[in-house]
Amino acid sequence: MEHEVDKLLSNEFAASLVYVSVTVLSLIVFLSVFELVTKYRCWDEIKKGNVAVAMATSGKIFGICNIFRFSIEANDSVYQSLIWGTFGFIILLAAYFLFEFLTPVFRIDDEIQKDNRAVGMFAMVISISLSYVIGATVI
């Protein structure tokens, strides 16, 4: 199986489709993990017009995709890219928990669910910013 995939990846157009497909599938899985760890349901809140949730979720999407961008650029195979992308996501998830823990004045999830746009914007910028740092560490 690995030989067939490597042969497929020797075509630049096919390789592009494979990398994008793997990233989109990973994005769906990783967003599902974020959905499990937040107190609110992202897509329900976005459907209701909650801009803070939309900003925080957009930051997570950008962050995950940015980590994969670095991972694809730094690795020679789709397998290595997936491993490093997953590792980067785990660090981003840990940073999310650290962010929640280090703000004892209020609960981040509660404020985002209440459509506190300042907190939503802050969460978005943290996810995006950290994705650059995490991406830079991807080998």
Spell out the domain ranges in the chain.
Answer: 2-137
**pLDDT value of residue 63:** 96
Cβ contact 44:103 at 8 Å: no
Rounded CA-CA distance 82/95 in Å is 20
**pLDDT value of residue 12:** 86
Reduce the DSSP state of residue 20 to 3 states and report it: helix
Per run of 10 residues, the mean pLDDT along the chain (length 139 residues) is 70 88 95 92 95 97 96 89 94 90 85 96 95 91
**pLDDT value of residue 76:** 79
**pLDDT value of residue 102:** 83
**pLDDT value of residue 103:** 81
